[in-house]
Structure 1
Amino acid sequence: MNNQQALLGRLQKRKVVVKTRKRGIHAGSRQSNKFGSSMEFSDFRAYQPGDDIRQIDWNVFGRTQKHYIKRFLDEQELSIAVYLDATSSMTKIHSKWEYAKGLAAALSFMVLAGEDRLLFAAVSSEGIQPVKRKGSVYSRRTFLEIQKHEGGAMAKNFLGCLKDSLLKQQQLAILITDGFEPIKEWESLLKKLKGLKQEFWFFQVLANEELAPSYSGDMKLIDSETGTEVNVSLNSSILSDYEKRLKEHNKQLEAICKRYGGQYIFAPEVRDLQTILFRDLLAKGLVR
């Protein structure tokens, strides 16, 4: 069994946890917390480990020799959006982009494997159409497609693009980005998500060289999103000031995520992806 198959096998055993009581209107594999609502029969679905065996329809088994359980209108699916920052600031550093895609692919796989409804959008410029899928039949295909995504051309910043892609009918919005935009702009977006009654997870993905630059001397820096050039002379004092400001920026990001009821997950590429998925998210109660 190769590494990818092993990863998908582990992901398939996990489910995303959403605490909000707002649910989708479509039947799914999750038990609704709306007691007293309709228990009208909806349809059948294949039995999965963890399902209540009392729900198996033995008449169907007798005809098909396969285990199916009844679904009722009380069982509601979740609708979850994964927004991947595919602007130039993310894609210019290859290792950072591959890490971000790996995270987006894994989370999207988990959503679909749990029979929930996925909206995936690689956000880089206007005109990108989000991918909408439902069900485990699409989980592996979607995982592979996200891993192969090449990202967009030079574009305006992530938040400038995201405001055109943000949808309202989601229970959870997952943001995967480096978070370099101004704090006030992030606060505006997170406040909007709270107003829409959407939970959100904020994954901040940073490259090693962004956390601790090793550059020195006279250099020409180019803004990856605007193409603007500036000549600078880097020394230890300037680099120390940069690292201090970055830490303060990240601290403020974490604080506003908490203020608006979201989850902040620091995901530098130096941290193993599986540690993020199977230790950090589990510890926060975001997956089970």
Structure 2
Amino acid sequence: MNEELFPNQLLSRLGGLSIATKSGRLGHHKGTHRSRKTGSSLDFSDFREYHMGDDIRHIDWNVYARTGQPFIKQYLDEQEMRIHIVLDSTKSMQVDGKWDYARKICVGLGHIALKSGDTVSVSTRVQGQSRFIRKKGVAQRAAVTKFLSSIEEPNSESGFTDNLLSYIPKALTVLFLVTDGLEETENWAHLFKRLRGICNDVRVILVQSESEELPSYEGDVRLVDIESDDGVEVTMTNRSIRQYIEAKEIHEGKLFALAKKYGIQIIHGKVHAGVMTLMTKRMRQVGWLE
């Protein structure tokens, strides 16, 4: 991943956003999120950079006089959130720009959380091996971007839901799953049931390309499953396209119903719409960001 894939000027547009949650499972380290616990200490803890919207009464003017930069006094009752992002690296993520789009989402979420003083971790699987990074602080944004850049292409042989629980850390505030959601619904049902015991706020972003929404193939074609290499000869007609769309809608309907059953939130992430539309509009509309 490089500057051209997610330019700094676009990342800067995310600077005023923060991850919103109703979960009460906050960490015990300093951050920028007010704890809901009563009786917590108001002792001074540290400084952090002033962000647009902060109460100017909390600016330390002595520090401002020395440095020329506004800093906010931070107290022990301001606690961090622990954000974890799981990136789907199965082979189906290779096609139609889904992979770059998914990595942009991860970079954007990481950027927002780190700038808010939260702890961010990201995990995925590469050639059967789990890859994991955990960072905190705005200075660590480059490290998270570099980590995601180092994953050249999705090539996991196993399914996204397989062994996923083994590389998710404990005591999370918010868990994001960035995936195309093509696993069998039985696998999702098993995963969703267990995820609720790990995190109270689980969010799934279904990455979809334009060709997945409405195939543009014509005539006789051979379709190959990129993960299994199984192929099938198909004549693309209006009827076959309608059958595909119906099957897709049935799968997604089951997935959304399962998510609702287990209190998990899902939104679509459409590659052709762009990551900024997803993060600055859609995620704000559903209350994921504020």
TM-score normalised according to structure 2 size: 0.88
CA separation of 1:153 and 1:51: change in aligned 2, threshold 3 A:
same
Deviation at 1:81, TM superposition (A): 0.7
What are the Cα deviations for residues 210-258 of structure 1, in whole angstroms up to 9, with x where unaligned? 222233555444332233x233333423332121010111122222222
Deviation at 1:17, TM superposition (A): 0.4
- Specify the alignment match of 1:245 in structure 2: 247
Deviation at 1:147, TM superposition (A): 4.9
Which of these residues, 5, 12, 16, is aligned with residue 9 of structure 1? 12
CA contact (8 A) 1:47 1:69 kept: yes
CA distance in 2, matches of 1:23, 1:241: 46
- Secondary structure of the residue aligned to 1:189 is helix
Please, what is the CA RMSD of the aligned residues? 2.4
Letter of the aligned partner of 2:233 in structure 1? V
CA separation of 1:134 and 1:230: change in aligned 2, threshold 3 A:
same
What are the Cα deviations for residues 83-102 of structure 1, in whole angstroms up to 9, with x where unaligned? 111111102x1512222222
- Specify the alignment match of 1:165 in structure 2: 167
- Specify the alignment match of 1:272 in structure 2: 274
CA distance in 1, matches of 2:234, 2:57: 70
- Specify the alignment match of 2:287 in structure 1: 285
TM-score normalised according to structure 1 size: 0.88
Letter of the aligned partner of 2:108 in structure 1? A
CA distance in 2, matches of 1:124, 1:165: 13
Deviation at 1:42, TM superposition (A): 2.2
CA separation of 1:280 and 1:63: change in aligned 2, threshold 3 A:
closer
CA contact (8 A) 1:86 1:124 kept: yes
Deviation at 1:163, TM superposition (A): 2.8
What are the Cα deviations for residues 178-236 of structure 1, in whole angstroms up to 9, with x where unaligned? 10111121122122221223311111111222222233555444332233x23333342
- Specify the alignment match of 2:59 in structure 1: 56
Letter of the aligned partner of 1:177 in structure 2? T
Letter of the aligned partner of 1:70 in structure 2? K
Letter of the aligned partner of 1:83 in structure 2? V
CA distance in 1, matches of 2:59, 2:231: 67
- Secondary structure of the residue aligned to 1:15 is coil
CA separation of 1:217 and 1:67: change in aligned 2, threshold 3 A:
closer
Deviation at 1:115, TM superposition (A): 1.5
CA distance in 2, matches of 1:233, 1:24: 53
- Specify the alignment match of 1:230 in structure 2: 231
Q: How does 1:74-153 map to 2 (within 5 A)?
A: 74-91=77-94, 93-143=95-145, 145-147=147-149, 149-153=151-155
Q: Is 1:27 matched up with 2:27?
A: no
What are the Cα deviations for residues 154-194 of structure 1, in whole angstroms up to 9, with x where unaligned? 41111114233222221111111110111121122122221
How many residue pairs match? The answer is: 285
Which of these residues, 211, 214, 239, is aligned with residue 213 of structure 2? 211
Letter of the aligned partner of 1:35 in structure 2? T
- Secondary structure of the residue aligned to 1:159 is coil
- Secondary structure of the residue aligned to 2:31 is strand
Which of these residues, 184, 187, 199, is aligned with residue 185 of structure 1? 187
Deviation at 1:125, TM superposition (A): 4.5
Identity percentage of aligned residues = 31
CA distance in 1, matches of 2:51, 2:156: 44
CA distance in 1, matches of 2:31, 2:260: 30
- Secondary structure of the residue aligned to 2:226 is coil
CA separation of 1:96 and 1:60: change in aligned 2, threshold 3 A:
closer
CA distance in 1, matches of 2:109, 2:64: 33
- Specify the alignment match of 1:175 in structure 2: 177
- Which blocks of at least 5 consecutive residues in structure 1 are unaligned? none
CA separation of 1:62 and 1:5: change in aligned 2, threshold 3 A:
closer
CA distance in 2, matches of 1:50, 1:250: 38
- Which blocks of at least 5 consecutive residues in structure 2 are unaligned? none
